[in-house]
Homo-oligomer: A and B are copies of this chain.
Amino acid sequence: MTQNIYDTAEFFAGYSRLPRSVEGLAAAPEWPALQSMLPDMQRLRVADLGCGFGWFCRWAVEAGAASVQGLDVSENMLARARETTSDPAIGYARADLEKLTLAEGAFDLVYSSLTLHYIEDLRGLLEQVHRGLAPGGRFVFSVEHPMYTAPANPGWARDADGRLSWTVNRYADEGARTTDWLAQGVIKQHRTLASYANLLIETGFTLTRLEEWSASAADIAAHPDWAGADERPSFLLMAAHR
Contacts and interface: CB of A to CB of B under 8 A. Distances in A.
Interface of A: 147, 150-153, 155, 157, 159-161, 163-172, 192-194, 197-198, 201, 206-212, 214, 230-233
A191 to B, nearest CB: 11
B169 A164 contact: yes
Contacts of A210: 193-194, 197-198
Q: Which of A152, A153, A164, A168 has the most chain B CB within a 10 Å cutoff?
A: A168
Q: Which of A167, A209, A210, A212 has the most chain B CB within a 10 Å cutoff?
A: A167
20 contacts: A147-B168, A147-B171, A151-B165, A152-B159, A152-B161, A155-B159, A163-B169, A165-B167, A166-B167, A166-B168, A166-B169, A168-B232, A169-B232, A171-B232, A172-B212, A192-B212, A193-B210, A193-B212, A194-B211, A197-B210
Nearest to A165: B167
A126 to B, nearest CB: 15
A230 B172 contact: yes
Given A150-B232, A157-B157, 13 more contacts: A147-B147, A147-B171, A152-B159, A152-B161, A153-B159, A155-B160, A163-B169, A163-B170, A166-B169, A167-B168, A168-B168, A172-B233, A194-B211
Contacts of A150: 232
